[in-house]
Amino acid sequence: MLELKNLTKSFGDVPAVRDVSLSVPDGAFLVLLGPSGCGKTTLLRMLAGLELPTAGQILFEGNVVSDGDRQWQVDPAKRNSGLVFQSYALWPHMTVRGNVDWPLKVAGLETAARTQRVDEVLAMLEINQLAERYPNEISGGQQQRVAIARTIAPKPGVLLFDEPLSNLDAKLRVEMRTELMRLHRATGATAVYVTHDQIEAMTMATHVAVVNKGRIEQFGAPQDLIDHPASAFVATFVGTPPNNIVPVVRSGAGWQVAGRPMDITPPLDDCLAMFRADSLSVALTEGPRSLPMELVEVSTIAGRTMATALAGGLRLTAVLDRPPAARVGDRVHIGLPPVPDAWFTPYGERIA
């Protein structure tokens, strides 16, 4: 349904998207996940036709809609896609019904067909009782539902979402995630969703593309990214809590882990070792495979305890069955297992 071929976008001499290639099947829910400024919104804007690629192609259903090499693209209104903005972007002088009706009117549908479709999508999003209100008379969550209803009313083949839940409170975000997944199943459209929230990505996506500095670090199913992170960046960005990355360097005849001599055998002289949070332990006394650190945070998640400790620039998080026998600010010792869960080069590339 959706394919990107060597897609590149630069603003002057600054590259925002670098040689991105991927494809997703019809009906997929693709999440572009990454930190602020990584290029994910630029990718989405190119999919919507709001930005022309510097190089590469975008194809919808096998048809080229943007060609950066020829500096040509299909008009945004003619590429069978709909975009939900982060800021809702509702017309303030129109009622809820008017906002949803407008794109159908522009498309040339007759009045009876428009009325039927507007009623259908308002009922689907459970906002039919708001039909005659204006945007300033409804809540933020209701405005977001109106923006989504307006987008799906013309039945686009590709739905594009630009961080649509970032302006909502935590409880409403959870509820709207459920609504968006239900909506995706009901419409059958292919969805592309931009977010920096990896919980949203892991719960909603069929496919995730982790974006970093304009490149795709890893593309795959959500569980694959958690089980087999392809880089140190993915390992520390995906997962709750994220994985722990610890430097291991040669020191004489042995190795040092985070500056402390330890019995370990890395595949290279200098490496990064990955330890999952549930493989670490927290103790008050020193052990043969422990690192002295300051306990800086303790919280309870789903019946287990997440404890985070800090030493210099190293931050480690352990998931424990019981709270540690220490308070925030105390000196603790973080125990490491004999074998890391993965190895990476000093540049963050995974070592097989």
What pTM did the predictor assign?
A: 0.89
pLDDT at position 223, please?
Answer: 93
pLDDT at position 165, please?
Answer: 84
DSSP codes, 277-319: GGG-EEESS--TTEEEEEEEEEEEETTEEEEEEEETTEEEEEE
Q: For residue 235, give the DSSP letter.
A: H
Return the ∠ at Cα 87 (arms to 214 and 131), rounded to 5°.
140
153 within 8 A of 118, measured Cβ to Cβ: yes
Other C-beta atoms closer than 10 Å to the C-beta of 352 total 5
Domain ranges of the chain: 2-231, 241-351
Residue type, 288: P
CATH 3.40.50.1980: does it fit domain 2-231? no
pLDDT at position 182, please?
Answer: 87
Q: Is 203 helix (H, G, I), strand (E, B) or coil?
A: helix
pLDDT at position 31, please?
Answer: 96
Per-residue pLDDT of the chain (352 residues; tens, 9 = 90+): 899 999 999 999 999 999 999 999 999 999 999 999 999 999 999 999 999 999 999 999 999 999 999 999 999 988 889 998 888 889 999 999 999 999 999 989 999 999 999 999 999 888 999 999 999 999 988 998 899 999 989 989 999 999 888 877 888 888 888 888 988 898 889 999 999 988 889 999 999 999 999 999 999 999 999 999 999 999 999 988 889 999 999 988 889 998 889 998 899 889 999 999 999 999 999 988 999 999 999 999 888 999 999 998 899 999 999 999 999 999 999 999 999 999 999 999 999 8
Cα 331–chain centre separation: 35
* C-alpha separations of 305 from 123, 187, 242, 293, 320 in Å: 42, 40, 14, 18, 5
Q: For residue 269, give the DSSP letter.
A: S
CATH 2.40.50.140: does it fit domain 241-351? yes
pLDDT at position 1, please?
Answer: 84
Residue type, 73: Q
Q: Which residues share a beta bridge with 310?
A: 294, 315
